[in-house]
Amino acid sequence: MKRILVTGAGGYIGRYVVKALLNHGATVIAADLYTKEIDDRAEKVTTNIFSGSENLYKDLKEPEICLHLAWKDGFVHNSDSHMEMLSSHYHFIKHMVEHGVKQLAIMGTMHEIGYYEGAINENTPCNPSSMYGIAKDALRRSLFTRLEGKDIILQWLRAYYIYGDDKKNHSIFAKLIQAEEDGKTTFPFTTGKNKYDFITVEQLAEQIAACVLQTEITGIINCCSGQPISLANQVESFLQKNGFKIHLEYGAFPDRVYDSPAIWGDNTKIKAIMGKQRKT
């Protein structure tokens, strides 16, 4: 089994991806600034991957595959850090390729697309409307241009609306948990009519692991459910599942003008990948 470096291994998504890869028998090098909560079966490396060290590839145990999940302020879409750190991501990936990595898998986001109605596929044009989406879109474009024609397997794993382990994220689900714990009886909400592609962090981790553990399907890969569900239905289901007493106050906030009425991922590629994994 090839050695897989996972950056951001101690993060919200990373911890689950490391576990999924290990459960499938992979050898995992888990790198992050904080590694305490990472599965102990992994080979942990506590380091700053953006240090610019010439010995970085060696310090990271000379992996053959790099799964790059590290990203600061992923839940703060207009943080200045997205643009400020863009070149650091580019130089890190460039360093890894120049020193021996033969397969790159990088975490993308549906926020690269911007306003769009319908299913997103790998040919959907991008017009991002947040600093997060702009930075991710720029990184993807630069890497696909830089590595074109090179002997490198490149996979861009585009994630959608993630939930689960909700106290660890900054989503509406985390806010609902806090409101319930605070004893609030109502929660101000939009109309809830917008439809999104929801996926649990555990399901996302399994999809990411499956993508990295195969090399036939490459390029942009949507890691998603492929099913649009209204925000209201998803949140009401969450409240019922957890036995919360809090009620949604529909229409307290207007729907944001830049949110699509319905947007989801085309899951053709990920279905093929998951189908291959089940057969092996």
Which residues are part of the catalytic machinery?
132
User: Which stretch of DSSP H or E encloses residue 229?
Assistant: strand 228-230
DSSP secondary structure of 110-172? GGGTBS--EEE-TT---B--SHHHHHHHHHHHHHHHHTTTSS-EEEEEEE-EEESSGGGS-SH
Strand partners, 263: 118
CA dihedral over 204, 202, 82, 139, signed as positive or negative: negative
* Three-state SS at 106: strand
Query: How would you class 25 by CB atoms within 10 Å of its CB: exposed for 0-12, middle for 13-18, buried for 19 or more?
Result: exposed
d(CA 82, CA 156): 18
Strands 3-7 and 65-68: parallel
